[in-house]
Amino acid sequence: MGKTDDSTSLKSTPLIEAERQVESFRQVREAHRMELVEDYVELISDLLADGGEARQVDIATRLGVAQPTVAKMLRRLARDGWVVQRPYRGVFLTPEGEALAHASRQRHQTVERFLLALGVDPDTARRDAEGIEHHVSEQTLALFDAFVRKAEGGSAER
């Protein structure tokens, strides 16, 4: 048999309209901008739920970053209204911060359940969901959820 030419399957697709491409790149930039914010507020929420406090040292340890990095981000989060820092008491979420943490957690769980339903192993699904959750549109997320509900026989909750 002759050798197949894989280059035909790798041909580039025609460029899309400039406005559509701009919107795609804008959406990705916005997702990147919010990624850290969402990761921080979700972690702070988890720490508060688990132990009643979210300390800078614990945030740094769990994110694998230096405490000065966390301090800088916490100032940004406080400036933007997501958290309140109380001297000697740690970090607390504002109602807006808690709502964002809840929404981020829901997205993460939906993406993770979708990946598990596809057969991805649990550790990989958890890690992959951590990145995908920030970039998935509401439309795609709804389809992930519908897929999981169907795969689980309609018993999934979102």
Give the pTM: 0.76
The per-residue pLDDT for 156 is: 45
More confident residue, 20 or 141: 141
How many C-beta atoms lie closer than 10 Å to residue 128's C-beta?
A: 14
Q: Pinpoint the residues of the chain covered by CATH 1.10.10.10.
A: 18-94
More confident residue, 5 or 142: 142
Among residues 89, 90, 121, 93, the alpha carbon closest in space to that of 105 is found at 93
For residue 95, give the H/E element and its range. Answer: helix 95-118
With bands split at pLDDT 50, 70 and 90, how would you rate the model's confidence at 69?
Answer: very high
With bands split at pLDDT 50, 70 and 90, how would you rate the model's confidence at 5?
Answer: low
More confident residue, 105 or 135: 105
Q: Within 13 Å of residue 122, how many CA atoms lie on the same side as its CB? A: 0
pLDDT digits (tens, 9 = 90+) for 76-100: 999 999 999 988 889 999 999 999 9
Q: Pinpoint the residues of the chain covered by CATH 1.10.60.10.
A: 99-151
For residue 121, give the H/E element and its range. Answer: none
Q: What is the mean pLDDT of residues 36-48?
A: 95
With bands split at pLDDT 50, 70 and 90, how would you rate the model's confidence at 56?
Answer: very high
Q: What is the CATH number of domain 99-151?
A: 1.10.60.10
Sign of CA dihedral 100, 101, 106, 112: positive
8 Å CB contact between 70 and 63: yes
Top mean pLDDT of 29-33, 78-82, 127-131, 151-155 is at 78-82
CATH class of 18-94: mainly alpha
